[in-house]
Amino acid sequence: MAIKTQGSLITDLSPTEGDASWYGLRGWIECSYRDLRRDCWQWQKTRLANPERAERQWLAMAVALLWTLSQDLEDEQALLDSQQPISQTQTQEAQKNSVSSTNVNHRPVRQLSSFVNGLLTILVHL
């Protein structure tokens, strides 16, 4: 039984400027902001008052974040490259067992954020 409901999303944007699908990004944005602000470089502990120094600090944090995330991407790509491709026989066996072929090739669920995984990768290589 399918439930059909209508909902409303209240925003200060005009209908041409906003899109309800953006709301789905909210959780991702909040987690990323938490990683950047609190979990990652501890910005709140710097207590910088000079705008020029704060600007340099933010630049250094942006470069460090870019490096950290790139390490995660390299690590993830190496993991994907090391996995054996699924043969046609394995795909047919999965279909016989009522498992769709799209589920056979899915990526594993991420246990750590890209930031944490990248940071751990950097620490291992030091």
**What's the confidence (pLDDT) of residue 11?**
76
The parts of the chain modelled with pLDDT lower than 70 are 1-5, 9, 84-109
**What's the confidence (pLDDT) of residue 78?**
83
Cα 95 to chain centroid, rounded: 31
What would the 3-class secondary structure string for the chain be?
Answer: CCCCCCCCCCCCCCCCCCCHHHHHHHHHHHHHHHHHHHHHCCHHHCCCCCHHHHHHHHHHHHHHHHHHHHHHHHHHHHHHHHCCCCCHHHHHHHHHCCCCHHHHCCCCCCCCCHHHHHHHHHHHHC
pLDDT digits (tens, 9 = 90+) for 85-99: 666 566 666 666 655
